[in-house]
Amino acid sequence: MKKITILTAIAGLTLGASLAYGYTADGGGVVGSKHDMNMLSGAAPDAQGRVCAFCHTPHHKVEATELDYNPLWSHKVNVDTSFAPYESVTFNSTIAGDPLAGPSRLCMSCHDGVIAVDQHYGNTGTALGGKITADGFGDIAIGKFADLSNDHPIGFDLNGIHTKDAGIRDTLKAPNNTTLNTQPITTLGFNNGKGQLLMTCASCHDVHNKDNKDTAFLYEKQLNSQFCVMCHDK
């Protein structure tokens, strides 16, 4: 399962903010990556120069009943339970309860367009700091106003998904990612303890920049839409 090593953001988006210095290479780790809040112009850097602290703490983790996955979280949690999920006549599955199940709710702690991206350890942060102002192309806000209806669906069960939609692969096609290539599509799922392996933000994105192949923390390259056809048999 990917749930221990990845949390994530939604596919294909970048921070679009000015930087103090260049990002580290894809797959080079979280330090110096787009998830290193110390690098964001306008953000309040951690007082001790820590990178992991913006999300994690060894003690006194944030508690929230809405969380079903809490990897020693130090960031304010988006507790909204009314997010509108994706819905379309082309969507052949069902959102299994909370669309923000698993790591997705943690992703919304920054990508909801409300909570400061540099908030951590009880510090307020610099509000939006000019980083998240809308939910649109070129902006990293995803769930602003509790709306996920214009984003790739998350929160549905990956078990047997290829039997519901013939255009979905049973095994992943990822020639640039030997870890995932030919693995069952359920490898990308979050185990919610109810026999379901749910699609989450982390099914597409590697928040820690260790196993990604693309600047948007994606697990496969976007060239020739290799990322899309990793799951979609088109």
In this prediction, residue 126 has a pLDDT band, given cuts at 50, 70 and 90, of confident
Q: Which residues contact 42 (CB under 8 A, 6 or more apart)?
A: 17, 18, 126, 129, 130, 131
Alpha-carbon distance 207 to 147, whole Å?
22
| Chain centre distance of CA 171 | 21
- CA distances (Å), origin 160, targets 20, 87, 126, 156: 46, 19, 44, 11
Number of domains in the chain: 1
Could you list the residue range(s) of the whole structural domain that residue 180 is in? 1-234
pLDDT tens digits, 62-88: 999 999 999 999 999 999 988 999 988
Look at residue 123 in the predicted model and tell me its pLDDT: 87
DSSP 3-state of 183: coil
- pLDDT category at 193 given cuts 50, 70, 90 is very high
How open is the CA angle 91-149-159, to the nearest 5 degrees?
40
Contact present, 131 and 122 (Cβ < 8 Å): no
The overall pTM is greater than 0.85: yes
Write out pLDDT tens, residues 4-35.
343 443 333 333 433 344 789 999 999 999 89
Q: Give per-residue burial for 46-80: e unless 16+ CB within 10 Å, then b.
A: beeebbbbbbebeeeebeeeebbbeeebbbbbbee
Q: Identity (one letter) of the amino acid at 161?
A: I
Chain mean pLDDT for the chain: 86
